[in-house]
Structure 1
């Protein structure tokens, strides 16, 4: 079975999507529609912007979504997903690619999500850190033992887990985790504590927008971050999308479940090759490739 996966924040780069815009009339039309919806020319920031421009959450999230979704649309009849999934933000791309969400509604939600997360970050300084070389349960136990907000946020692959919380909570956890034998406990250059209880204001704000958005039954199961399980029921998809902001991204479990359910080939669509790398670490026998550019 063909599985298509979509990247999240951190995969952005200057020039992303420019080849699509210049070589595909459909892509150009979709990018111009996006400029109109967002109320600013995101294409200029994607194609010519600095790293700093692209790091702004309000730019990063729509930019990665646009690159992934428009690239999938330009594949035409060769794009026949039998299951999809996305990492954090990538879940919105996965839902549009599977036909559960329209392009326009997906972009509006991603933009609202980015602005809500930005506000939550400004409200309370917070951060995330990558922990390498420890079992998941060790990381979870250490987070539970810290008397500040710090939780397991991204289960990326065995031996690589991202924690998220208050700055002092993450700092304390990193110290203890190093003592426990972590090969690395590295703070990430992110705006805040994504996928933690500190995103509650953003979750509450986004919930209303998601509830009001038309989501229909997708053409194939979408494996959602919150439980790593496949969903096709629109009401359940909405519930999971709302819960996603404060819940962990169970990427390891998602890929394992997709393989158990028959996935034989994974194609990552969008900028970077992060997910392709994680999939190979989760299961070295998995076939995984990346499509990051316009296909002639």
Structure 2
């Protein structure tokens, strides 16, 4: 797969992005009680957010609840309009070319969006038809994805019978119907047991090996460490750190060895 990139060489690029949400005011409150940027029209969920994702990699977006991770994904996926700054995905301007951006991306949210009354195969065929592939191509693409995500044996079982990890893999497969250049994964392993998380991780690695660029939001340091070649840490709508997992861990601190002497008289020698 050839991944579209911006002139800067990045598959995803955000520079100084601002997204404001208007806050509800209680009766009689007036202008008091607005968010930290109350004077400019509401609370800033993104407050000058910067991000640069290299093509063909997993880039982790790490931060606590409320840090702005999901807002960043929704902005980059054209689901929210931002108020200031600049953003490009797959070489396209998010604000000026949202329809073209949507044709190049996939999005998987925090919870699996599959119809549990349908089989895995029927789910994928349905998504294919929704993407205007036509019945024949939708069936063909469903078969390809079932094999790619190791779901062939369960293809004709109802999705309600799938384990959490299998439902997640089916959800990932549905986001790959159009073979997107960039895939946004918003906390994809929330609520999964260790086995389910491992299944999703393997599926993500396979996608990247095929050339897809993945932006992964997560609260789990272990998940970002296992999957991402680069991590951006976000807090209060700003990127506060950006580096490789090893470099970020070294910044926090190295290893410490604790030695206990049996005899206090041996302390100098120890």
Q: Would you call these one fold, judging by a TM-score over 0.5?
A: no
The structure with the largest helix share of the pair is 1
Q: TM-score, normalised by structure 2?
A: 0.30
| Greater Cα radius of gyration, structure 1 or 2 | 2
Higher normalized strand content (fraction of residues): 2
